[in-house]
Amino acid sequence: MMMQKVLCFVVILSASVQCSENPGSIATAAFGYELTMSGLEAVNYNLQKLILESKLHYNSLRADIEGCQRKLENSERIMKQQAKMLGNHEIQLRKIGKTVESVEEISYIRNELDMLAINVSWLLSDTSKIYRVQQTLPTTEMMNLYILQLIANKLNTNATMPLERINLPRTCANVSERRSGVRRIHPQPGFKESFEAYCDQDYEGGGWTVIQKRFDGSVFFYRGWNEYENGFGNLNGEFWLGLKKIHELTYAKRHELHVVLEDFDGIMAVAKYNHFLVGGPEQKYALNKLGNYTGTARDSLGYAVKLKFSTLDSDNDTHKDGSCAVMYQGAWWYGACHASNLNGLYVRGNISDYANMMCWKAFRGHHYGLKSSTMMIRAVV
């Protein structure tokens, strides 16, 4: 409006000047004034229209922004609710996990209770017998002899080992808990004692008893005969199960063997043998059978069939000029000397030393220390 007034003043001033100079131009000036005012009104109309449209657009944008803000607030509220629900679900899953673990231990607890019940029953029975006999035997010496005879009779019957757990799985393939971990198994009930072993239930359908595992060098494997016979290490870490147990497992049932290897480049390879059989102590735990080979690592154990096991203090190899176990700092089924040495020293990758490390010739050769080695056996139905 201010601009319009200014323009009007200019037009009027201009018309006045023209009138004073040329009275005949009054009509022309009046016409120009009307034309100018008409143009200004059109401009003013368009400006008002643009302002109105701008306000409408502004209000629309503001409504859209407020709608987006409300949606964001709703989304944030929903996300908080979902996070809370996920937290509750996590708590419930942990509770369920603990419950599952408890359920999986039921069979073990039941065996323990059964063992305790049997022992208590035998104890009560023996106590009753001793009490009755005590009334008839005249001397303490005769009483002692009777008790010794009672004990001898127990040891000579097949009701032996009252402290032995009953109904244990014979192999890891018979374990009911389908999760990997340490389990107690009993390959030959009534003949040998049960023992703990690591059962792998994840690899190729599960049911595998791990007899050797190495992956970080935390356990030293250059050891003597007694330790290799009985086993050493941590069943939840690196370990050797023990030749006695390996023999017992493979003689109680036919087993297959898988040797899973990994190098420091992350390349995995496996050697599979379908009939793994280890002899007893009288045979120096000879590798009596391996069966047929398949796999990706290629065969570096077939040479050892019929060879005896050797350690640093028990040389049973076929090498005439010294001990392979000492020369290659391991314990294995050596001939003269080896194509594999999975119980050798733990070194990392390529080295200049020859064959004294954890190696598998057909996979990475005699100058390469492997990252991991796992030997697993599974009962063949």
What is the pLDDT at residue 100?
A: 47
Nearest 5°: phi and psi at 213?
Answer: -150, 130
List pLDDT tens digits, range 269-286.
999 999 999 999 999 999
What is the pLDDT at residue 131?
A: 56
Supply 27's token pair.
């009509």
Cα–Cα dist 211/190, whole Å: 23
Classify each residue of 239-250 as buried b or exposed e, where b means 16 or more C-beta atoms within 10 Å of its C-beta.
bbbbbbbbbbbb
Query: Which H/E stretch holds residue 278?
Result: strand 268-278
Higher pLDDT: 235 or 121? It is 235
List pLDDT tens digits, range 1-13.
545 544 444 444 4
What is the pLDDT at residue 164?
A: 45
Higher pLDDT: 169 or 130? It is 169
What is the pLDDT at residue 144?
A: 61
List pLDDT tens digits, range 200-227.
999 999 999 999 999 999 999 999 999 9
Read off the pLDDT of each residue in 228-250 and give the average, rounded to a whole number: 97
Higher pLDDT: 189 or 99? It is 189
Higher pLDDT: 66 or 17? It is 66
What is the pLDDT at residue 96?
A: 61
Per-residue pLDDT band at 85 (split at 50, 70, 90): confident
Mean pLDDT of the chain, nearest integer: 81
What is the pLDDT at residue 293?
A: 98
Asked if pLDDT for residue 380 goes beyond 70, the answer is: yes
Higher pLDDT: 70 or 113? It is 70
Asked if pLDDT for residue 331 goes beyond 90, the answer is: yes
Q: Which of 9-18, 88-97, 114-123 has the lowest mean pLDDT?
A: 9-18
Q: Which of 26-35, 52-61, 169-178, 195-204 has the lowest mean pLDDT?
A: 26-35
What is the pLDDT at residue 78?
A: 74
Classify each residue of 139-177 as buried b or exposed e, where b means 16 or more C-beta atoms within 10 Å of its C-beta.
eeeeeeebeeeeeeeeeeeeeebeebbeebbbbbbebeb
Phi-psi category of residue 355: left, alpha or beta, with phi > 0 → left and psi -120 to 50 → alpha? left
Residues 6+ apart with CB under 8 A from 280: 247, 251
Q: Using the structure block, give the residue that is written with the tokens 């003949």.
A: 191
Q: What is the DSSP letter of 307?
A: P
Per-residue pLDDT band at 161 (split at 50, 70, 90): very low
Which 3 state secondary structure label does DSSP give 374?
strand
Angle (nearest 5°) at CA 96 between 94 and 100 = 115
Chain-centroid distance of CA 162 in Å reads: 37
Asked if pLDDT for residue 319 goes beyond 70, the answer is: yes
Other Cβ atoms less than 10 A from the Cβ of 211: the count is 25
Asked if pLDDT for residue 188 goes beyond 60, the answer is: yes
